[in-house]
A and B are shown apart, each in its own frame.
Chain A
Amino acid sequence: MLFNSFRFLFVFLPVVLGVYWLTPSLTWRKYVSVVASYIFYGVWSPKFALLMLFTTSVDFFTARLIDDTGNVRRRKFWMMVSMISNLGVLGIFKYYNFFAESFNAVAPGLVPLLHVVLPIGISFYTFESMSYTIDVYRGKIPALRHFIDYAHFVTMFPRLVAGPIARYTDMASQLQALPRWLPAETVVEAIHFFALGLAKKILIADYLAAKLVNPLFSAPGGLHFFSGWGAALAYTAQLYFDFSGYSDMAVGLALLLGFRLPRNFFLPYASRSIAEFWRRWHISLSTWLRDYLYIPLGGNRGGAARTQLNLFLTMLLGGLWHGASWTFVIWGAYHGGALLVHRVVSARFRPLPRWLGLAGTFLIVVVGWVMFRMPTLGAALQVYRAMLGLNGLGGAWLMANRYRLAILAASLCLSFTLDTYEFRPAPRLRWAVAYGLVLVACLTQFSAPSPFLYFQF
C-alpha cells in the first residue's frame, strides 16, 4: 500500500489510528499495530508477509537463545544462525539472480536462474532485524521476552518498506512506554512532516520524473550536453525529494502512532565534502553501515591503508545494498574512491573554500547519480558521453524546456535550503489552512499514484 494513495489515506490510516488510540490496553495496542502493519504489507503480497513473519520469528528466537546463554560459542552459533537466515533470504530474493547472470555471462547456462520477485522493503527490515540480534549478541541490549514486542518494533508500517532504518536501541524506551493518548501538539507536528513529505514527493519529485527524468533517460543515446546535464540534475533533485519526502511522511505517520523516528536527511546537497555528504544522506543507512560493517571490519584501528580498505569495502557493499546490479557496485566503488581521495587530500591540504567544496561535492554526487539511475553500464556511459559534450550541445533543447528548467532550478534551490526539521512555521491557523491546501493539491495527483524510488531497494 502506498502512502500516496486514497486507500491508505482515507481508509487504512483513519481506521488504524482510530482502533489504535481507542484501544485502552497498551499491550493490545501493540497487537493492533502489528496486525495493521501486516495488512499494510500483505495487501501488496500475502506470501511475502509470511516471509517477513519467518525472518521476524527467527531473529526473535535466536536473540533469546543468545541472551539466555553465557557460553560464548553458543552465543556466536545463534548469532550466525540469525545472520545466515537474514542474509540467506536477502541473498536468494535480491542477489541470487544477479550473481547467476554474472556467472552465466562468462559461462552460459552454468547457473540456473530463479523466478523470484524482490519482496518490497526486504533490505530495510532485514537490516533492522540484524542490528537487533547483533546488539543482543554484543550485550548492548537484553533480548525481548515477548514476540509481540519484537514484531511491533520490526513491522511498524510507517517505516516498514523504505526506512528510516531504526534500531531497537533507538526505539526501546518509546516501545516500552507507549503514550496513553496522542497530544494535539504531536498531531500538529505530524501534519507538518506528512504534508511537506507528500508535497516533496508528489509536487516536486513526480513532476521532475514525468517531465524531465523519464523522457530524457529513456533514450540516453539521443542526449546532448544540455539535455544530459538537465537529466542528471533533474534526477538529483527527484531522488532527494522522493526519498526524503518518504522519510518525512514516515516520521509524520510514526508521530501519529506516538513514536519518533531517527532523522534520515539533513540537506545533503549542501555538504562541503563527500564525507559530509554521507553524514547527511540516508543517515540511518550510513550509520548502520558504520556501526555494523565498517567498525567490525576494523574501522580506523589498523593503520591508514587498512582504514582506506575498510572504507572502500563499506561503500562497495553499501552500493550493492541498493540493488543487485553492476551499476550499483560501480556507484558504491565510485563513492568509496571519492571518500578515499577526500581522506588523503584533507589530511595533507587545507580545506577548500566553502563554495568550492560545495560545488565540487555536488558535482561528484550528480555524476554518481547517473550510474545509480541507469539500468546498464552502457546506458550510463551514453549519458556521460552526452554530459561531456561529445554528442554536441543541443542548445535548442534549452529553449524548448525553459519553463521545466526553471522549475528544476527552483527545486534544486529548495534541495539546498528546505529542511523539514528547521522549517517550522508558527502553528497559526492560516498555516493549518495552507497545509490543508498543500495536501489537497497532492490529492489531486493521486488518481495515478507512483511508487517511491527506494521501494525497489
Chain B
Amino acid sequence: MLPQPRNSTPTRPVAAKSPSRYVWTFLTTILIACLALALFNYVVNPLNYYPPRLVRPLSYGDQLVKVDLMNRQAAGPDVLVLGSSRTMKLAPADVTALNGMTAFNGGVSSSRPEEWYAMLRHALDDLHWQPREIIVGVDLETLFYHGESNEDLLSSPDLRQHLPADMYRESLWNRAALLISWDQLLLSRKALALNRGARPPAAITFDPDGLLHYVGWEKAVAEGRFQFGVEFNIRDYRRRYDGLDGFDEQRKALFEQMLKLAAARSIRVRLFATTFHPAVLAEMVKLPAFNQVHADAVQYLSAAATRYQGVTFADFTEITSFGGDQDNFFDGVHIRQENGRRQLERLLQQ
C-alpha cells in the first residue's frame, strides 16, 4: 500500500537571470498596487470611514446620522430613547403625548450596549443634555454577542472617544485593512457612479427628533399592497442565537456603566426586552440557545433593576406583555408605530 518516492519541495531548480531584480519587482508591484488601491478607497471614502469628504458616501450609517441629528438639537430632550432598529419606531411625539416630556429617538441599527453607553456619554458629556429619563430597548442577544463592534459606531469620532481603547484599536486596524479590500473597491466604484447620476431614493429617512421612516414599507402599507413576511427574520435570528454561550463581559460592563452613569445623574432608566412577532417567536422558542439566553438575560436585567436606583425592566418579548398587535409589524422583529405607542404606554405607566 501507498508506496511512493518522498519528493521534497522543488523538483527542478528555477534559474532566474536576475533573481534579486525579480524579487524586488515582485515586492514593488505589491507596494504600488496596494498603495494605489488604498489611496483610491481613501479618497472616495464610500462609507464615510475616513476624513476625506470629496465624494458623497453611499451610506452614513445610522450611528453617524443620529449623532448628526443629536448635534443639531437646539436643546436636549427630557427623554432619550436608545436601542436597535427594533426600538426606532418609538415616536418622540408619542412620548410627549403620553407624559408631556420632549424626547429624542437615538435608536440605531444593530446597536449593542457600547452604542447605548457611547450615545449616552455623548449626550451628557459633549452636548450637556440633562435628560430626566432614558428608555433602552434591549435586544437580549446583544449582551451575549462576543464579536466586534459596529464599524459605523467606531467610525464616529463623537462616539468612539467614549469607548474602551481596545474596542477602538481593533477598529483602526480593520479600517486600514478595508482600504485594500475588494468590497470597498466595489463600493467606491458605486459611490462614484452614484455621484455622477441621480441617486436612488433613500430606503429610510429620519425626522429631526430621530423617528425612523421606512420609505418603501410605509408607502406600501398606505397603498394597501404591503407584503408581510418573517422567513428572513427567522433565519437571521436563528443565526444570531446560534452558538451564544454566556454573557460578553465587556458589553455587560459597559451596560452597567451606563446604569451607574444614569444613577449618578439621577436619570430614570426604563429597560425593556424588545419584542418578536408571534410567528418568529414560535420558531425561536424551539432553540435551546434562545430559551437559555432569554432566561439568563431576563434574570440579569430584573436583578439590575433592583440593584440600581431608578431602573425598571419590562420583558416585552411576547406581544401580549404590552398589549401589542401582531398586525402592526413590518416584519418579524420590526414594529410599527402603533405597537411602539403601546410599548411606551406600558413603560411610562411603571
Interface-facing stretch out of A39-47, A77-85, A375-383, A435-443:
A435-443
Please, which residues of chain B bring their CB within 8 A of the CB of A287?
2, 4, 6
Say which size band chain B's interface belongs to: 35 or more
Complex: chain B residue closest to A299, CB-CB: B1
Please, which residues of chain A bring their CB within 8 A of the CB of B178?
447
Bound Cα distance A155, B260 (Å): 48
B20 to A184, Cβ gap below 8 A? yes
0/1 interface trace, chain A 426-457, chain B, CB 8 Å (1 if under): 01110111011101100111110000000000
A185/B9 contact (C-beta < 8 A), A191-B23, A287-B2, A287-B4 known: no
How many A residues have CB within 8 A of the partner chain?
52
B25 to A339, Cβ gap below 8 A? no
A436 to B25, Cβ gap below 8 A? yes
Instruction: Enumerate B1-24 residues with CB–CB distance to A below 8 Å.
Output: 1-4, 6-17, 19-23
Q: Does A64 contact B (CB under 8 A)?
A: no
Bound Cα distance A457, B57 (Å): 44
Which one of A183, A428, A429 has the greatest number of beta carbons of chain B within 10 Å?
Answer: A429
Instruction: Identify which of A294, A435, A439, A440 contacts B37 (C-beta below 8 A).
Output: A440
Interface-facing stretch out of B27-35, B85-93, B317-325, B342-350:
B27-35
Instruction: Identify which of B19, B29, B34 contacts A433 (C-beta below 8 A).
Output: B29
B292 nearest CB across to chain A (Å): 16
0/1 interface trace, chain A 181-194, chain B, CB 8 Å (1 if under): 00111011101110
Bound Cα distance A205, B14 (Å): 27
A446/B181 contact (C-beta < 8 A), A189-B14, A286-B2 known: yes
Bound Cα distance A314, B2 (Å): 11
Bound Cα distance A431, B182 (Å): 23
A294 to B185, Cβ gap below 8 A? no
Interface-facing stretch out of A92-100, A136-144, A259-267, A324-332:
A259-267
Bound Cα distance A401, B20 (Å): 45
Chain B interface, >50% SS class: helix
Please, which residues of chain A bring their CB within 8 A of the CB of B19?
183-185, 187-188, 427
Bound Cα distance A185, B15 (Å): 7
Bound Cα distance A290, B1 (Å): 7
B14 to A424, Cβ gap below 8 A? yes
Bound Cα distance A439, B180 (Å): 12
B14 nearest CB across to chain A (Å): 5
0/1 interface trace, chain B 22-63, chain A, CB 8 Å (1 if under): 110111111001100100000000000000000000000000
A445/B1 contact (C-beta < 8 A), A263-B7, A432-B26 known: no
Name 7 extra pairs, CB < 8 A, besides A300-B1, A433-B26: A170-B6, A183-B19, A189-B9, A260-B9, A287-B4, A436-B28, A447-B174
